[in-house]
Amino acid sequence: MGRDERDTVAGGARLYEAAQAVVGDHDRAVEAVRAALKPIHDAAVKRELDAIPVARLQDVTEGRLRLGSVEKSGLRTLGSVLDAGPYRLRQIPGVGQRTVDQMLAAARRLSEAVQETVAVHIDVDRPEPSTTALVTALHVLVEAGPDTRRALDRAATLSGRLGPLLTDAKPAAGRFRMLLSGREKKARASAAVTELRSLVDAGERSGLSELFAQASVDLLRGQSSDIAAWVDFELRSAEYYSLLAEISGRSPDAAAVEGFLPDEVAERVRTQQLDDAHRRVSLRGYQAFGARFALAQRKVILGDEMGLGKTIQAIAVLAHLAAEGQNHFMVVCPASVLVNWTREVEARSALRVVVLHGPDRHEAYADWKERGGVALTTFDGLRGLPAPGAGQVGLLVVDEAHSVKNPKAKRSQAVALWTERSGRALFMTGTPMENRVVEFRNLVRMLDGGVADLLGERDALAGSVAFRKAVAPVYLRRNQEDVLTELPSLQQTDEWEELSASDEEAYGAAVRAGNFMAMRRAAYMNPEKSAKLERLREIVQEAGENGQKTVIFSNFKDVLRVVREAVTAGTTDGTPVFGPLTGSVPAGRRQQVVDDFAGVQGPAVLLAQIQAAGVGLNMQAASVVVICEPQIKPTIEHQAVARAHRMGQVRPVRVHRLLATGGVDERMVKMLEAKTRLFDAYPRRSAVAEATPDAVDVSDTELARRIVEEEQARLGMADEVLTADRTPA
């Protein structure tokens, strides 16, 4: 053994020390977060325990405890029982040692459950010293970024390999030590040096020393100012909460993260590797699983509920495939989100983006064919592009895939052809099936005909277990409440208003004319005396006084015009009003309007046509949502609300649905309850209701006709309308 071997051992030792330093620096940053979290968590647990009545101890002990004398003594909550302790409890008349022991044992079991489940929420509007300390401690890790996570993972792996090798290679570090070693030790030392040389050379080629050094610098940079940390938290709260869940060990239930997939599918997904070399964003646990699912199963539907970051998961799949050497990818999406997709791919990956939209799309397509990258186009745009050869496209991503559930539509046929020709396909939709099993089956058929053939009405009727088993190879869905413990509360209020005399007059004219759409917007046709507008102005004013932003949705452009005039006239404090966003506003402009709305300091109002803005645009800046009239499909409202109440929202969201009593609004709400229940039972839960879905389906046209006829009868106009219909023109 000579100088070369000694240099190799020394190089391995330096690399080991650098790796250990990164792990140590990260551990100290994590401990700082834990230290800041503990008092906040303890306070949250105490509040929870102080709210649980003593009577709950009966549930744990199956009614064996007699608690009347305990409550009479003033100990009425679980927290007060635990605070009292055994000595105080024994002083209560009629309470013996056995009762005390049983009571405290039951109380501790409930306390442990609360300890494990209570969630810490950071109130951005009411910063306190304790939450500020937590946010600033988290800020260090968030600012360190994905490169630090990458460095940490490699450091942990490398330390595990280098430690034993350096031990075996010790004799080679000195000439005399090697001479004095026995034959077996010399052989181990020689083999260890050979492996060390391979690791050190590989580390030099990939710049591991520099990666470790930069990670340590980032972790040791120290905490930023309180203001900087809070501002960053508001902008990137999802990353803060993700780290918090990881560090606290209060991650979501593993089965929920895996979408309750059967074990054989879930295990295959778990073993799938995920390369992050081209990715610039950290993934939450459920997001990493979703990306692995798409890779392992090749052609799938990601049906995660809105707000869970389906775009991020798609980018993770794209980045992994790029790291494997593939370079041609296609994303198909509505025109309204082309800008958002461009921003997301550029910001969160190192991949090249080519937009195939507008007059230069054919030149852009030729450039993409030659140089590769992530091509972005619309559903209509895809129809005008030449279909690729088999395997030329590494991944086809279809956003809002429920738009292609009709196999007879040309856009659906184009997507089906590209899906067939692509190596992998990822369909993304929060609402894969609204009313009919057959529509969901149509999507599945594009991906896997065999699975589609297995998915029959019998699976729907059999319930969740049969359904999940049938679609598991191609379908993954997770819900916010299962995997996002940090989402602020969502408070939904139905604002029932009595129509004014002026409203009634406009409504009656619409009913007499049999005009369903006019009936739905009649409450806004006389703005000066509109009951709904009066309540809407009150909501906007209250939000403004609290410094909150409001987004107002309506299906109708003329309603939005009326609302804009009313809100503008009613905001005497100069609150800016943006929009309305309608289908006629170019896609790029829509995103700019949303950005301008979010960029305002303090209150602001955004007006949006619910169909145009309910897809793809993120409105986390808004914490108040107003829906001007009930929508024909419940999913439309769900999507609109999810634009504000989604990952990244840091404030509780209040939703106000403006409804008029006694007319079309009331009838729509009642008739759509069945649709909402079906949606919750089937696509939301990956299961179906006990009854056949078709049994509760009500088409838009049929619903409108039925409501018009019922309202004409209620208002005594049925005979009048029938006579008018029979009168010769």
Provide the pairing of β-strand 475-476 with 328-332: unpaired
Separation of first and last alpha carbons in the chain: 110
CA 660 to chain centre: 33
| pLDDT score, position 693 | 30
Which residues are paired to 605 by β-bridges? Answer: 550, 577
Which pLDDT does position 720 carry in this prediction? 64
Residue 580 belongs to what H/E stretch? strand 577-581
Interior angle at CA 117, CA 115 and CA 123, nearest 5:
95
Let me know: does 648 contact 241? Beta carbons within 8 Å: no
| pLDDT of res. 652 | 79
Which of 346, 325, 204 shows the shortest CA–CA distance to 279? 346
Q: What is the mean pLDDT of each run of 10 residues along the chain (729 residues)?
A: 79 92 93 94 91 81 74 88 90 86 88 84 86 94 86 90 88 60 76 90 90 90 83 82 83 82 92 92 89 97 86 96 96 86 91 94 94 96 92 94 91 96 93 62 92 69 63 88 76 85 93 93 92 91 85 94 90 82 84 88 91 68 90 79 76 87 88 56 36 39 85 81 48
> How many helices (H) and strands (E) are present in the chain, helices listed first?
34, 13
DSSP label of 693: G
pLDDT at 391: 85
d(CA 566, CA 605): 12
Q: What is the DSSP letter of 611?
A: H
User: 444: buried, middle or exposed (CB in 10 Å: 19+, 13-18, 0-12)?
Assistant: buried
- Give the length of the chain: 729
User: Is 649 strand, coil or helix?
Assistant: coil
| 543/539 Cα distance (integer angstroms) | 6
Residue 5: name the closest of 209, 164, 213, 168 by CA.
168
Cβ pair 553, 581 in contact under 8 A: no
Q: Regarding beta strands 624-627 and 328-332, do their DSSP bridges make them parallel or antiparallel, or are they unpaired?
A: unpaired
The pLDDT assigned to 34 comes to: 94
Sorted by where each starts, the structural domains of the chain and their CATH numbers stand as 1-250 (no CATH), 251-482 (3.40.50.10810), 488-661 (3.40.50.300)
Sign of CA dihedral 62, 68, 70, 75: positive
pLDDT of residue 679: 45
pLDDT for 356 equals 95
Residue type, 3: R
Q: How far apart are CA 233 and CA 136, in angstroms?
A: 9
Q: Give the number of C-alpha atoms closer than 13 A to the C-alpha of residue 68, restricted to the C-beta side.
A: 2
- Secondary structure (H, E, C), 228-251: HHHHHHHHCHHHHHHHHHHHHCCC
For 333, 461, 629, the CA distances from 674, given in Å and listed in that order, are 30, 17, 18
The rounded radius of gyration (Å) of the Cα atoms in the chain is 31
* Whether the Cβ atoms of residue 82 and residue 111 lie closer than 8 Å to each other: yes
Nearest CA to 439 out of 477, 402, 400 is that of 402
b (16+ CB within 10 A) / e for 191-216:
ebbebbbebbeebeeeebbebbebbb
Residue 556's closest CA among 625, 626, 635, 612? 612
The Cα angle at residue 351 between residues 621 and 338, in degrees rounded to 5: 45
Cα 205 vs. chain centroid, distance in angstroms? Answer: 38
User: Alpha helices of 118-182 — where are they, by DSSP H?
Assistant: 129-168, 175-180
Side-chain half-sphere exposure of 37, counting CA atoms within 13 A: 23
Closest CA to 54 of 66, 42, 38, 39: 66
Spatial neighbors of 208 by CB under 8 A, at least 6 apart, are: 15, 18, 154, 158, 202
Burial of 711 (0-12, 13-18, 19+ CB in 10 A): buried
| Calpha distance 408→127 (Å, rounded) | 55
CB 627 within 8 A of CB 656: yes
Q: Rounded CA gap, 665 and 521, in Å?
A: 10
Per the CB < 8 A criterion, the answer to whether 110 and 103 are in contact is no
CA–chain centroid gap for 216, Å, is 31
C-alpha to C-alpha distances, 661 to 322, 670, 709, nearest whole angstrom: 57, 12, 17
How confident is the model over 437-468, as pLDDT tens digits? 778 889 999 999 998 888 765 555 445 566 77
Q: How far is residue 473's CA from residue 264's CA, in Å, rounded to a whole number? A: 10
pLDDT digits (tens, 9 = 90+) for 528-538: 999 999 999 98
